[in-house]
């Protein structure tokens, strides 16, 4: 349902859609009471959710549920959708489209805020889950235990009425009562933030966490935004997947803290810089033929792993100033064939070698990142971004095999398919040594991306739009500078 909020909804012509939650015994969330009637009209939306019948792609386009149906295989469909999105984003009328959408949303928001739709939906969902008015408990049990259907569902078995096997009368009517919220759901938001922070700390995308939990990316997104009820069991599973104790189960000892306040706190502590920022800067040092000094580098395992990989390909790195800072000196030629693949497989950050290495050689390989043997799916967003610079990647045999076509260069803005930190950083690293201007849209604006932009500026690369989702990079074909850089400290705001 959340996809209906997009500017354009495109489906494969072979898909079957079920735009409802009724067969799960749930009223449904994700603002469907706003987006579905807006798409197909109030009357048709009521029919779709009452009858709960599947519809094909063609019918979805005809009724307004989707804008376009495209033929072809899944990979061909993904490619065509990506090309369509890039054309749309680069179109001269794109800004007018966004302005029109914002105006419509402002009018709709004044008429009825989105928070009101959300509150009503979650109140209805609460009744489904706790009062079990629609058979949610049985549906959940059968889903978890993989119970196969023993007969065609009644709503699909119209033939039974013709033979007299079922009472006269077609489908019953679903009567929905809208209730105002009576229970605060702030705790769901707080849990969602904890999960999001733990996922980002591990360097995972929502899709990777969804794969580990055998669920969908949309479900993970709802959990992180506090828009989905979540059990203690699921929280424990998420904690295990992320190697982060979000909640402690089975501990019988005392877990109380007594805090005596009323005292003025003062003093100072010496802190290191962000791990995520440091890792990106280590990879970015490969762009520079001169000496790089990074101040206050976090001495943690992820940093050590990247340093092991750098050392194996000939980069000289040493701790200076009593182990507080790091000096990096690259060789005239990287020994990529000697790369420590075991060290590289122990970190996902090695994926950020793609951007800088493509400027060093026309052919190279790196192992699958982080021991995650997912082939092209792991690197797909990176491939989509870097192919604009002529980088072609084939995933096979546990390695990403990269080839560079120097005749290819960005001819239009690059629209990232995932607003991820490492994807944005890889695009920046590729653009930094591209002799020209590169525009990157849907970029992450997180602090580690900003840190990388500030470092690139010290290398002489001009970056416009730092802190926003659109970055303009004025690259240099060669970079040879001695730089001394202090990564930005984390600043907490309240």
Query: Tens of pLDDT along 186-209?
Result: 677 888 888 888 888 888 888 889
Identify the band that residue 165 occupies on the pLDDT scale cut at 50, 70 and 90: very low
184-248: CATH class: mainly alpha
Choice between 409 and 161, residue whose per-residue pLDDT is larger: 409
121-125, 134-138, 232-236: which is most confident: 121-125
Distance CA 72, CA 198 (A): 38
Average pLDDT value for residue range 298-307: 87
Residues with a known catalytic role: 372
Identify the band that residue 271 occupies on the pLDDT scale cut at 50, 70 and 90: low
Choice between 478 and 166, residue whose per-residue pLDDT is larger: 478
The DSSP letter of residue 465 is S
pLDDT tens track for 4-53: 777 788 888 888 787 777 777 777 777 778 788 877 788 878 887 777 77
Q: Where are the alpha helices (DSSP H) in 186-340?
A: 186-202, 206-213, 217-224, 232-241, 275-284, 301-312
Distance CA 46, CA 44 (A): 5
> For the chain, what is the mean pLDDT?
80
pLDDT at 376 over 60: no
Q: What residue segments make up the domains of the chain, in order of their start?
A: 1-146, 184-248, 275-485
pLDDT tens track for 338-360: 998 888 888 888 899 999 999 99
pLDDT at 488 over 80: no
DSSP assignment of 173-205, as one string? PPP-------S--HHHHHHHHHHHHHHHHHT--
First to last CA, the chain: 33
**Closest among 408, 390, 391, 412 to 400, alpha carbons compared:** 391
* CATH topology match: 1-146 vs 275-485: no
Average pLDDT value for residue range 216-245: 81
- Which phi and psi angles does 124 have, rounded to 5°? -65, -40
pLDDT at 326 over 70: yes
Question: Taking the model in full, what pTM does it have?
Answer: 0.49
Q: State the pLDDT at residue 151.
A: 59
Distance CA 181, CA 480 (A): 61
Helices and strands per DSSP (H, E), number in the chain: 19, 15
Average pLDDT value for residue range 378-386: 84
pLDDT at 331 over 70: yes
pLDDT at 181 over 50: no
pLDDT at 253 over 60: no
Q: What is the CATH topology of the domain spanning 1-146?
A: 2-enoyl-CoA Hydratase; Chain A, domain 1 (3.90.226)
Beta-ladder partners of 391: 404
Distance CA 207, CA 411 (A): 30
Q: State the pLDDT at residue 352.
A: 93
**Closest among 18, 213, 19, 26 to 137, alpha carbons compared:** 26
Q: What is the CATH topology of the domain spanning 275-485?
A: UDP-n-acetylglucosamine1-carboxyvinyl-transferase; Chain (3.65.10)
- SS3 assignment, position 259: coil
pLDDT at 464 over 50: yes
């Amino acid at each position: 349902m959340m996809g209906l909020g997009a500017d354009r909804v495109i489906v494969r012509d072979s898909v079957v859609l079920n735009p409802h939650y009724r067969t799960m015994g749930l009223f449904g969330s994700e603002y469907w009471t706003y987006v579905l009637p807006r798409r197909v009209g109030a009357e048709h939306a009521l029919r779709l959710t009452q009858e709960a019948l599947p519809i094909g792609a063609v019918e979805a386009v005809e009724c307004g549920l989707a804008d376009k149906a495209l033929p072809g295989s899944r990979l061909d469909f993904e490619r065509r959708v990506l090309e369509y999105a890039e054309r749309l984003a680069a179109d001269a009328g794109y800004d007018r489209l966004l302005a029109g959408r914002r105006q419509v949303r402002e009018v709709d928001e004044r008429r009825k805020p989105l928070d009101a739709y959300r509150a009503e939906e979650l109140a209805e969902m609460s009744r489904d889950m706790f009062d079990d008015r629609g058979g949610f408990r049985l549906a959940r049990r059968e889903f978890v235990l993989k119970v196969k259907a023993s007969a065609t569902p009644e709503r699909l078995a119209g033939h039974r009425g013709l033979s007299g096997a079922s009472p006269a009368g077609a489908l019953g009517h679903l009567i929905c009562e809208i209730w105002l919220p009576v229970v605060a759901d702030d705790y769901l938001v707080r849990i969602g933030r904890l999960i999001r922070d733990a996922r980002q700390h591990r360097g995972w995308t929502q899709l990777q966490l969804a794969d580990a939990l055998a669920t969908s990316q949309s479900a993970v997104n709802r959990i992180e935004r506090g828009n989905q009820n979540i059990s203690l069991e699921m929280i424990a599973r998420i904690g295990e997947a992320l190697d982060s104790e979000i909640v402690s189960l089975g501990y019988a000892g005392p877990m109380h803290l007594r805090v005596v306040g009323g005292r003025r706190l003062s003093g100072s502590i010496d802190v290191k810089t962000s791990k995520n920022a440091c890792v990106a800067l280590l990879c970015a040092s490969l762009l520079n033929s001169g000496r790089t000094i990074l101040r206050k580098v976090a001495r943690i395992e992820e940093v050590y792993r990247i340093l092991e990989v750098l050392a194996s390909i000939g980069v000289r790195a040493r701790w200076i100033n009593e182990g507080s800072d790091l000096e990096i000196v690259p060789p005239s030629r990287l020994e990529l064939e000697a790369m420590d693949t075991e060290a590289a497989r122990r970190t996902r950050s090695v994926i950020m070698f793609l951007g800088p290495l493509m400027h060093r050689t026309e052919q190279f390989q790196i192992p699958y990142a982080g021991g995650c043997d997912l082939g092209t799916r792991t690197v797909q967003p990176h491939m989509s971004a870097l192919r604009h610079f002529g980088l072609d990647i084939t995933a096979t045999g546990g390695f990403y095999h990269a080839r560079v076509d120097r005749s290819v260069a960005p001819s239009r803005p690059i629209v990232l398919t995932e607003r991820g930190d490492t994807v944005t950083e890889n695009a920046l690293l590729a653009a930094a040594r591209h002799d020209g201007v590169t525009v990157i849209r849907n970029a992450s604006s997180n602090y580690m991306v900003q840190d990388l932009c500030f470092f690139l500026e010290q290398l002489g690369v001009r970056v416009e739009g730092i802190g926003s989702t659109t970055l303009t990079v004025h690259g240099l074909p060669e970079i040879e500078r001695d730089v001394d850089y202090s990564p930005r400290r984390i600043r907490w705001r309240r």
